[in-house]
Structure formats: C-alpha cells, structure tokens
Structure 1
Amino acid sequence: MSRIGKKPVPVPSGVTASIDGQTVTIKGPKGEKSFVLNDLVLAEMTDDGIKIDPCNSSKPARSMWGMSRTMVANLITGVTEGFKKDLAITGVGYRAQVQGKNLQLALGFSHDVVYPIPDGIDIVCPKPTEINITGTDKQRVGQVAAEIREFRPPEPYKGKGVRYAGEFIVRKEGKKK
C-alpha cells in the first residue's frame, strides 16, 4: 500500500483547485497548471484537500496511486513557491551570462555555447560561475539543468565543468612518475 498516496494534498489559501474528470487544475499566484490523472486512480475534493485513491486493488492501480498524489502536490508547490536548481561552473575561463532569451556559456570550446531559454523557465547568473534556474514545472526545471550540465559535465581529475550546486565529484588520482 502507498504511504504517500494515503495523505490528502493540502490546498493552501490563495490557491484554487478544480477536478474535472481525470484532469486536476491548480491556479495560484505563479500561474495555472493542470495534470491528467491515469484512469487507474480517482481524485476528489475533501475538506483536507485533494484525495487520490486507486480505483481497484490491482498492482498497476497501486503503482499509479503514490505517483499521482506526488504529481498533484508538485502542481501546488509549483504555482505557490516554484522550483529552483542551481548550477556551479568550475574551470579557468569558464563562465556564463544571460543575453536576452539566450544563455551564453564559455566552457573551453573554440566557440561559446548558446542555449535558448525555454518558455516558462527563468535563468539568472548572479556570478559568472553560477546559474540559477527557476520555474513552476519541476520536470522542466530539472530537464533544463540537465541539458546545461551536459554541455561540459565535471571531469574526475580536476573537477572542471558544470555541476549541480552541492554535487560531490569523486576525484581520481593523476599519473605517477
């Protein structure tokens, strides 16, 4: 049984939630998001919030139960607080800056890498070696962070590259003489 799925998703003040069949729509201060639930789960509004229940006790229905509850909870978090990922750039001459709708990265290549910023995502560079990615969709924020990190992942000898803030890079020992 899902322990996460048993808890109702609380709806904070200032947020309106509506359920239309299998579609859950959440409106909040940062925008409006919706999610279509799987047919194996049912959603209903209660006094405690939004309650998700499996429609039967089959294995696939129970598998979708906790995931569906988490997706609805992420919608509410997204329209109230938003999601944030921080990236750190390490390396001599490696830097980032936002120019209009593009993120320009100097990562040791013969050319700068230009990454177009997708809609619904905000990217800020408070320092040339820091990138802050914010948005209302947890999946898109994580995907954008992963795409930027993929341009130059951290290497194990000197640790140069783009890494998540707080990520630990396992270092290797260099050549012996």
Structure 2
Amino acid sequence: MRIIGGKLKGIRFNPPKNLPVRPTTDMAKEALFNILQNQIDIDFIKVLDLFSGTGNISLEFASRNAISITSVDKNFGCFNYLKKIAEEQKIDNLNAIKADVFKFLNEETEKFDLIFADPPYDLNRIPEIATIVFEKDLLNENGILIIEHQSMQDLSNHPNFTDKRVYGYSAFSFFKLKP
C-alpha cells in the first residue's frame, strides 16, 4: 500500500497479512484522486470512509490535508492498524471508529462533503449504502458519495446516481444530491 499524493507521498505501508481486506489498487486510487481533484478542493472537506480496512483511502485524504477523516470499520485488526499508522505518522485529522457501517450510518447525524464506501464485493447490501446516506441526509450541499464495487455490478438505478468509472475488476459509482 503506497500513498500517491500529498505530504506522505511515496510512503509505503505493509498491513498485516491476516486482515480481511481487498485494498483499492494504486491504479484505481490514482484515477479516483485525479477525478476528485478536478471536482473538489480536498483541503476544505470532511470525509467519511466506510469499510475503511487498512485505511488506504483515509490515509490518502489525510496526506492531502482534508479537514477531517472519519474511518469506520468493524474489524478490530483494521481499526487498530489504522490508529497505529495515524499515531506513527502524527496524523491528527483522522478519527478511526470501530463499528458496523450500517449501524453507524443509521445513528450518524453529522454531514460530510465526501463519503467513500469500499464494502466487501460479495456484500449483498451494497445498494443500501446510497439509500441510507440520502435518507439520513448525510451529505453537505455539493457533497459526493462514492461506492467502490465490482465492475459488473450496476448501481445506476438509484435516483442520485451520476456516474460510473470502471478500472479492471473494480468500479466507482458516484452519487450527488439532486437539486
């Protein structure tokens, strides 16, 4: 796992092999951040990273000076690993939370500028993520929800869907508030 931009650019992290994760590839992550840099100013956003795993995406946002990053994962090993890396790298804008993502979303009241979700590809509840985010009004005006999923999965039937980008086996579906 490598940080591709910002103040931690080039740093490599080696998460424990026993974590139940499938990190976003460097190619897909670089493409995602190229898209985002043309749409938002990362320096001024609050990020929610769901199913954060090793913290690959959270750390990338922290490296690029996002105001705050809330990282949610229910796996104790992932939670501990991300907290340890944040402490070692003196990242004070990252808050790791050990929780079930769906329970967290249903209880959360704070709004975010960007919500990124990278659930396990075999999770059958992936479409529920967008539904809950918009029903609970968790995005600020002009906020973006991005869900990473298998490229053959189609989330375009959600009314807030705006775009899908495919990178090999993976895809990012983008959602925004409709005026």
TM-score tier (shorter): under 0.3
Question: TM-score by structure 1 length?
Answer: 0.22
Q: Which has the larger radius of gyration?
A: 1
Select the structure that is richer in helix: 2
Question: TM-score by structure 2 length?
Answer: 0.22
